[in-house]
Amino acid sequence: MAGIDFFDVDHTITRHSSGARFVSLAARRGIVPWHLLFVMPWYSFAYRLGVFRPEDFKAGFPYLRGVQRSTLERIAKESFETQLRADIYKDAIALIQDKRRKGRVVTLATSSLDFIVRPLASFLEIETVIATRLEFDGEVCTGRIAGRPLFRKEKKRRVLDYISTQREDPRNCSFYSDSIFDAPLLNAIGQPVAVNPDFRLRRMAREKGWPVLTLS
């Protein structure tokens, strides 16, 4: 294998939060309460500032409790087609296509929910998605997270485990991210790249001599 390139999603491949796009449409479709539209900007702002707390994941997503998997997937697909697709950086598409031409394997590694980003992965012809997963009882969402959210050290663990299953060397892999929260994985990978980084990651990249990309 020529190597694996891992990409975060929000603000790395897309301009806006994939979760916020999903919630916006889900509220209009009556799937989630409207008040979430006023909460989501705060979460996005806190994440970009690097002050988002892991504890915020503990409650899971109670507003999705009782929703059918097929409904979530349908809303996610519609959200991608009507909003998220236009959010994709053209430079990100070109970068991913270049990686593939060189024989590299491209994989998404994101804290976003897996069903939200799968339409994006399909559009980009990316087969493997490493993401936060929801728990389901049969085909009905419980509102809880299955396992741990793909955040900080958990993202590092899951990605390194995947690299091991592919019999690849982390030194021959890259990771593209915008967030200081991804520092554990960026420090563990052979080719870390800061993409449209928040101010803390930009400072870290400068200190460590990592490449910094500005995609548009």
pLDDT in tens, 190-210: 999 999 999 999 999 999 999
The fold of the 4-213 domain, in CATH, is Rossmann fold (3.40.50)
Q: State mean pLDDT over 81-88.
A: 97
**Res 48: pLDDT:** 59
Every domain of the chain and the residues it spans: 4-213
The residue-averaged pLDDT of 61-70 equals: 95
- pLDDT (0 to 100) of residue 72: 98
Q: Which of the four pLDDT bands, split at 50, 70 and 90, describes residue 99?
A: very high
Specify the range with the lowest mean pLDDT, choosing from 7-16, 49-58, 89-98, 145-154.
49-58
User: Model pTM?
Assistant: 0.92
Long-range contacts of 25-29 (CB under 8 A, 24+ apart): 25/75, 25/78, 25/79, 25/82, 25/83, 26/75, 26/79, 29/75
Report the mean per-residue pLDDT for the chain: 92
**Residue 10 has what DSSP assignment?**
B
